[in-house]
Structure 1
Amino acid sequence: MIERLLPAEVSCAATRAESVPDGILFPEEEALIARSVAKRRNDFTTARACARRAMSGLGLPPVAVLHGHRGRPLWPEGIVGSLTHCNGYRAAALARATDVLSLGIDAEPHAPLPVDLRELITLPAERERIGPPAPEGAGEIHWDRVLFSAKESVFKTWYPVTGRELDFLEADLTFDRASGPDRAGVDGPQVRIPAEGGFTARLLLTDPALPTTLHGRWRVEDGIIATAASVRSGWRENGES
């Protein structure tokens, strides 16, 4: 699902399995999770199996994927990428730095966001645009959870380039109308699932290394929300701001 949301230059791999046959860790990766519980181990291992499949898609040999501050994956020289995992979905997306400056992906269960978290991660204008929470089981898009996921993807795109924290309230997101026949967007009638569309993140904290507006895509399918954002390496030459 994640491959639908990113440019063709990005190599993606994903799984819905809790464990995979090629989920074998390098010794230095094993050391990072030696004391982890089973769920953490499965998430870590399957995400790295996806990462190595994505490496293969770029013609790269498999290497260990360690992590830095705030869990940021450390990629081979000249490679940018992102990992994500939630119950029922793990994915990796990688690209050459000559093609993509930075990218971020995120996956979440398609369920309502807790009310207290909704207040913490949304701006008043965003809450007005997405409307009240959709009842669980009503067959509608849970826009608050889509918004949360999209902000995670934006942060994962922002942080590797700037090295600075980006608060949830420092990006103002708007969503395009859902694509596909008989589907409507945030301000329309009930949306058929699967559904997908685009989003725009206006950065309220800016950095000269990135444009002031980031773009991405979202998709809801089989109980999972997937989002992705990316910035091409030649964004200045292309007149982005």
Structure 2
Amino acid sequence: MIERLLPADVSCAATRAETVPDGFLFPEEEALIAKSVAKRRNDFATARACARRAMAGLGLPPVAVLRGHRGKPLWPEGIVGSLTHCHGYRAAALAREEDVLALGIDAEPHAPLPEGVRELVTLPAERERIGPQAAEGSGALHWDRVLFSAKESVFKTWYPLTGTELDFLEADLTFSQERSAEGSEGPGGSVAAGGAFAARLLLTDPALPETLYGRWLIEDGIVATSVLVRPDWRAGEGS
């Protein structure tokens, strides 16, 4: 799924398997999760297996992917990337800094957010906008979960460049849906839909534009989102 949301110069790898044959860990990665429960270890290992497949797609040798503050993946010099994992889906997306300034990906189960969470992670204006969208023939889509995932992708794009926190309420997102994917039934009866979104940042930083743009896709019970910023983004200001 993720590869369908990003351009060709981004190397993507994903799996729906709970375990993968190439899910080995380097010793320094093992040390990071030595005391973790089995599920956490498995998520960690499968996500890094995807990362190493994505590295191969860029012609890079496999290396350990350690963690910085807030769990930020530490990539080889000259590489930007993002990881995500949820039940039933793990993915990695990597690119060269000369091609991509920053990117973020996220995957979530396509289900409503837990009770009370929607109000914590969405702005009143966002709730007003997604309400009518759900009523216009797209009631099978869980827009609150799509919005949550998109904000996760925004944060993963923002944080590595700025080194500062971005709260869920500091980005105002607007969605569009492709006419060719308006809640159609996918394989197994799952909803298949997709489109684009714009994230207007209410907290700004000179490292990034004030509005970030991304894509979203729902398929086989998974919501996937992505955000990408090019190095020459300033050239498009005011255009």
How does the TM-score come out when normalised to structure 1? Answer: 0.92
SS where residue 147 of structure 1 aligns?
helix
Compare the two structures and name the one with the higher helix fraction.
2
Equivalent residue number for residue 229 of structure 1: 227
Identical columns (%): 78
Equivalent residue number for residue 237 of structure 2: 239
How many Å separate the matches in 2 of 1:6 and 1:158? 17
Give 1:240 shift. Answer: 6.7
Cα deviation 1:119-153 (Å, max 9, x = unaligned): 0000000000011897xxx9710000000000000
Equivalent residue number for residue 170 of structure 2: 170
- Map 1:1-241 to 2 at 5 A: 1-131=1-131, 140-180=140-180, 183=182, 191-192=183-184, 193-239=191-237
Equivalent residue number for residue 187 of structure 1: none
| Aligned residues of 2:177 and 2:193 also touching (Cα < 8 A) | no
Q: What letter is aligned with 1:154?
A: V
Q: What letter is aligned with 1:222?
A: D
How many Å separate the matches in 1 of 2:229 and 2:86? 24
Cα deviation 1:39-96 (Å, max 9, x = unaligned): 0011000000000000000000000000000000000000000000000000000000
Equivalent residue number for residue 186 of structure 1: none
The 3 A distance-change label for structure 1 pair 240 and 67 is: farther
How many Å separate the matches in 1 of 2:120 and 2:132? 15
The 3 A distance-change label for structure 1 pair 30 and 240 is: farther
SS where residue 177 of structure 2 aligns?
coil
| Aligned residues of 1:85 and 1:91 also touching (Cα < 8 A) | yes
Cα deviation 1:92-127 (Å, max 9, x = unaligned): 000000000000000000000123110000000000
The runs of 5 or more residues in structure 2 that have no matched partner are 185-190
Q: What letter is aligned with 1:63?
A: V
Structure 1 outlier segments of 4+, above 4 Å: none
CA RMSD of aligned residues (A): 1.8
How does the TM-score come out when normalised to structure 2? Answer: 0.93
Q: What letter is aligned with 1:28?
A: E
How many Å separate the matches in 1 of 2:209 and 2:86? 29
| Aligned residues of 2:154 and 2:212 also touching (Cα < 8 A) | yes
SS where residue 18 of structure 1 aligns?
coil
Give 1:178 shift. Answer: 2.9
How many Å separate the matches in 2 of 1:87 and 1:132? 29
Give 1:34 shift. Answer: 0.8
Cα deviation 1:151-172 (Å, max 9, x = unaligned): 0000000000011100000000
How many Å separate the matches in 2 of 1:122 and 1:224? 20
| Aligned residues of 1:133 and 1:144 also touching (Cα < 8 A) | no
Give 1:177 shift. Answer: 2.1
